[in-house]
A = this chain, B = another copy of it.
Amino acid sequence: MKPIHSFKTLVWWSETDAAGIMHFSSIFKLCEWAEEDFIKKLTGKTFKEATAHRIIFPRVHASCDFIKPLYAHEEAKVNITSISLGKSSITWIFDVYNESRGYLAAKCKIVTVAVDRFQMKSVEIPKDIRDLLEKAGASNR
């Protein structure tokens, strides 16, 4: 099935560790980069204004199964395979591929919650963002 979004990057040297592979914490960053790349392309200025100015999406849960390594200087691809929307939460599912070797490297899940950055409390996902996400393939929970 076609992913909702696909993001590619090199396995940067700075994100590897002494085992020669991408550090596990950087695989979580990779997923977040895919999300940011997706949101940027989806919303352009709207998201930036909405999120940079008032609403942020801190993570309330993150988990990954690390299956096979991403070695330095190889190509990684992150597919966003599912986005499901709650009232204020968004659940993202990611498949991380080692493109250079052609295998699945990790499967990850991240749950974010819309938060008012000044009051630091959860709020409903802004309607314009919800509409955009639905149009892009997000489902409602």
Contact = CB atoms under 8 A, between A and B. Distances in A.
Interface residue SS majority, chain A: mixed
Given A16-B17, A29-B14, A32-B14, A48 B23 contact: no
A18 B69 contact: no
Interface residues of A, number: 42
A135 interface: no
Contacts of A64: 61-63
B25 A14 contact: yes
Interface in A15-30: 16-21, 23-26, 28-29
30 contacts: A10-B33, A10-B36, A10-B40, A13-B18, A14-B17, A14-B23, A14-B29, A14-B32, A17-B18, A18-B21, A18-B52, A18-B71, A19-B56, A19-B58, A24-B32, A24-B58, A24-B62, A25-B25, A25-B26, A25-B32, A28-B62, A36-B73, A40-B73, A48-B73, A51-B73, A52-B71, A52-B72, A61-B63, A62-B63, A69-B120
